[in-house]
């Protein structure tokens, strides 16, 4: 499943309890601040398709910058938990932003968050405090799975095993939620 991401996202009911459980049962990797800037091309408005299935992102962390494109596997207008994902690191933020501007890409929304990252049984776990949106948990398959369904089943099993109190599963993603909150979609 090269270049395919399988991920579940939920709002957290209790951030402190979740962090306490994860610190006891998983491997803590790091805490970091992330600033994500999302773009759409002039020639193809990602927001026109419902549900939104594409994002182009620049991520800034203290380690540097990455450039990422995701195309979610939405079929029959149903929410998706997997996507094609391509990402690379780069050095000059202003140069890339200038290139995108010259190619008629428009900056749509910025999402800022503090992320606590963990690993547990072939799963990357991220607990995010998203500015303006609240607390969320993401579980991403991080192993050799035969297909998307096997990876999804594993992720739901890990969520149940960890017994984390979550709200209804979120399929929209932070940029979509932020655009909704601002009344832009």
Q: Are 69 and 56 in contact (CB under 8 A)?
A: yes
User: Average pLDDT for residues 70-80, to the nearest whole number?
Assistant: 78
Answer whether residue 108 shows pLDDT above 90. Answer: yes
Q: What is the DSSP letter of 166?
A: B
pLDDT over 70 percentage in the chain: 97
Number of domains within the chain: 1
Answer whether residue 76 shows pLDDT above 80. Answer: no
Burial of 91-117, coded b for 16+ CB within 10 Å and e otherwise, reads eeeeeeeeebeeeebeebbebbbebbb
Q: Are 141 and 6 in contact (CB under 8 A)?
A: yes
E strands, the chain, are 4-11, 27-41, 54-61, 64-72, 82-90, 105-119, 123-130, 134-141
Give the global pTM: 0.88
The least confident of 15-29, 80-94, 117-131 is 80-94
CATH of the domain at 74: 2.40.320.10
Which pLDDT band holds residue 184 (cuts at 50, 70, 90)? confident
Give the pLDDT score at 81: 75
Q: What would the two tokens of residue 103 be? A: 């190619």
Q: How would you class 69 by CB atoms within 10 Å of its CB: exposed for 0-12, middle for 13-18, buried for 19 or more?
A: middle
Q: Cα torsion at 90, 95, 185, 135 (round to 10°)?
A: 40
Provide the residue range defining the domain that includes 176. Answer: 4-181
User: Average pLDDT for residues 73-94, to the nearest whole number?
Assistant: 85
Answer whether residue 1 shows pLDDT above 70. Answer: no
Q: What would the two tokens of residue 142 be? A: 């991080």
Q: What would the two tokens of residue 70 be? A: 């995701």
The whole-chain average pLDDT of the chain stands at 92
Q: What are the pLDDT digits (tens) for 138-177?
A: 999 988 888 888 999 999 999 999 999 999 999 888 999 9
Give the pLDDT score at 4: 76
């Amino acid at each position: 499943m090269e270049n395919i991401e399988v991920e579940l996202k939920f709002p957290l009911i209790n951030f402190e309890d979740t962090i306490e459980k994860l610190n006891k049962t998983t491997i803590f990797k790091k805490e970091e601040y992330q600033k994500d800037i999302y773009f759409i091309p002039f020639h193809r408005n990602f927001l026109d398709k419902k549900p939104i299935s594409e994002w182009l992102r620049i991520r800034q962390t203290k380690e540097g910058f990455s450039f990422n494109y995701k195309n979610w596997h939405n079929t029959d207008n149903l929410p998706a938990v997997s996507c094609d994902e391509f990402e690379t690191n780069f050095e000059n933020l202003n140069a890339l932003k200038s290139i995108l501007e010259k190619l008629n890409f428009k900056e749509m929304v910025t999402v800022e968050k503090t992320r606590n990252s963990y690993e547990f049984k072939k799963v990357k776990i991220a607990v995010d405090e998203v500015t303006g949106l609240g607390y969320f948990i993401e579980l991403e398959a991080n192993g050799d799975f035969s297909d998307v369904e096997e990876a999804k089943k594993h992720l739901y099993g890990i969520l149940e095993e960890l017994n984390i109190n979550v709200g209804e599963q979120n399929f929209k993603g932070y940029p979509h939620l932020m655009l909704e909150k601002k009344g832009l979609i």
